[in-house]
Structure 1
Amino acid sequence: MTPEIRTRYAFTVTALIGPVTSAGEIGTGVRRIIPIIGGEVKGEKVNGTVLAFGADFQIIRPNELIELEAKYAFETDDGAVVYVENKGIRFGPVDLLQKLKRGEPVDPNLIYFRTVPKFETGAENYRWLMEHIFIASAARHADRVVIDVHQVL
């Protein structure tokens, strides 16, 4: 037997986003770049501010499957900087994904939006972020993305 996989809620990242830039059809889908312009991190063991740089680099496949790769950083309330690379997918009914693109509200439970964030930091207090695997469930809103991060135990 191998150890059972369990998860524990760690924290929530609310990333504020700017206007979408599109590089157009690249042969495998449409490349979009969405700037990350701020936000917050809130949890039991980590709290802080999403720094106003970074972006989510997306490819929207012809079947509307969206591949995401966000790169950004946050600063904790005690001054540590944590770099984040967050890869994942978003998928759902085409009509609902079109509503999201237009900035219209959509029930997050109707869209599959999951990611695998990785963290890097030199701050000893937050080394645990590099010593564990994390998975996340996310929701896209017109001006922000909300990401509930769970530690895999």
Structure 2
Amino acid sequence: MTPVLQTRYVFTITAHIGAVTSAGEIGHGVRRIIPITGGEVRGDDINGKVCAFGADFQIIRPNELIELEAKYAFETDDGAVVYVENKGIRFGPIELLQKLKRGEPVDPKLIYFRTVPKFETGSEKYRWLMENLFVGSAARHADRVVIDVHQVL
């Protein structure tokens, strides 16, 4: 019998983003910085707002594979602050990735965009976020990134 990995959906992070800043070609890809300007967190057990600071630091490889590392925080409706480091990759057909870079709409189902969020908080109520592993299935839109976060059981 093949072992099966199980996950449980816990919440969705919608991170609003600002204009891209590019540091240009750095020798192994193009470095981009995308500010996180706010947003929301919605789920059965956690709801809140994404803080209006932080950024997604990306490297776009020559084959258009995008490595992402976002650092930001959200505040729950009951006042807990949760720091987030979210690493991942985005990849798909080159013409669609170039449309995304230009801010044009692309069907998220056509792009592979997965992340591994890591959480930190001093809140006892949300300590379980630091005691479990999570994976995210994400979609990039012109003005936001939407990440469905799943707990690995």
TM-score higher than 0.5 here?
Answer: yes
Which runs of 5 or more residues in structure 1 are unaligned? none
Partner residue, 2:147: 147
Q: Which amino acid aligns with 1:68?
A: L
Give matches, 1:17-96, under 5 Å. 17-96=17-96
Q: Which runs of 5+ in 2 are unaligned?
A: none
Structure 2 counterpart of 1:127, which letter?
R
Q: Counterparts of 1:108-119 in structure 2 under 5 Å?
A: 108-119=108-119
Aligned position for 2:129: 129
> What is the alpha-carbon root mean square deviation over aligned residues?
1.2
Name the CA distance, whole Å, in 1 between partners of 2:48 and 2:3: 33
Q: Is the partner of 2:125 in helix, strand or coil?
A: helix
**Match for 2:67: what amino acid?**
E
Aligned length: 153
Q: How does 1:1-12 map onto structure 2 within 5 Å?
A: 4-12=4-12
Q: SS of the counterpart of 2:103?
A: coil
Shift of 1:30: 0.2
| Corresponding letter in the other structure for 1:63 | N
What amino acid is aligned across from residue 27 of structure 1 in structure 2? Answer: G
Separation (CA, whole Å) in 1 of partners of 2:69 and 2:117 = 9
- Letter aligned with residue 18 of structure 1: G
3-state DSSP class of the match of 1:78?
Answer: coil
Q: Deviations over 1:83-123 (max 9, x none)?
A: 00000000000100011111111000000000000000000
